[in-house]
A = this chain, B = another copy of it.
Amino acid sequence: MKARATETQRKTRIQMENEERILDAALEVFSVHGFRGATIDQIAEKAGMSKPNLLYYFRRKQDMYEALIARLLDTWLEPLRELDGVGDPLPELQSYIRRKLEMARDFPRESRLFANEILQGAPRIKRLLESELKPLVDEKVEVLRGWMKAGQINSVDPRHLIFSIWSTTQHYADFDTQVQVILGPDRGAVGRFEDAARYLETLFLDGLRPQAKGGGTPRVRDV
């Protein structure tokens, strides 16, 4: 038996399958109960595996958590990475919002895991946030500032703009339970996300102040 942890070696078929199965189960549990609230037994049961067997692949609870976090942050920041200064600002932002919304729809467990970690004060990923997230945001802030200086979008605090995109989109994953209570069962999950996309587009582009309809009508700002 070789020490799996120390060497970088190729994994067996069974190893790959089981690790996948375990991480999926772990995501399910961690994303709901957080690190402390989750138990290895719960995860093992969800993975259809005995606890010692699970611990053969991940020797400590923390190892599973860290594996999940590591793979998460990369995926999570992907949409922001793609935001660049070459295209037109409004379509570019719209597309960023749409992608973030799609991620909330397609990876709600990942979103909740992330939310849980931050809620707890990000004890395990604060470093990562500082070394990876912050520089990326700083870079994109410059892109936004460029657009503002050129008068292509309204001048606002770029960081808070990013926060508002994150919060409004992730809300549909993290607060899904509440969203479902309020929207009722009328429209399915798909419809909900279409509605959300349409709404957010209007909000971010035009806000709530009534728009002057049709071409030449003057826009009166102060009523």
Give A contacts to B, CB under 8 Å: 31-38, 88-90, 93, 112, 115-116, 118-122, 126, 129-130, 133-134, 137, 151-154, 156-157, 159-164, 166-168, 170-172, 174-175, 177-179, 181-183, 195-196, 198-200, 202-212, 215-221, 223
A218 touches B220 (CB 8 A): no
Point out the residues of chain B lying under 8 angstroms from A164, CB to CB. 168, 171, 199-200, 203
The distance in angstroms between the C-alpha atoms of A115 and B120, with both chains bound, is 11
Known A159-B183, A167-B171: A210·B153 in contact at CB below 8 Å: yes
Q: Which of B115, B163, B200, B212 contacts A115 (CB 8 A)?
A: B115
Point out the residues of chain B lying under 8 angstroms from A88, CB to CB. 223
Copies per assembly: 2
A215 touches B215 (CB 8 A): no
Q: Which of B37, B118, B137 contacts A177 (CB 8 A)?
A: B118
Point out the residues of chain B lying under 8 angstroms from A163, CB to CB. 168, 171-172, 175, 179, 182, 196
B221 touches A218 (CB 8 A): no
B199 touches A154 (CB 8 A): no
Best-buried of A89, A130, A134, A178 by chain B (most CB within 10 Å)? A178
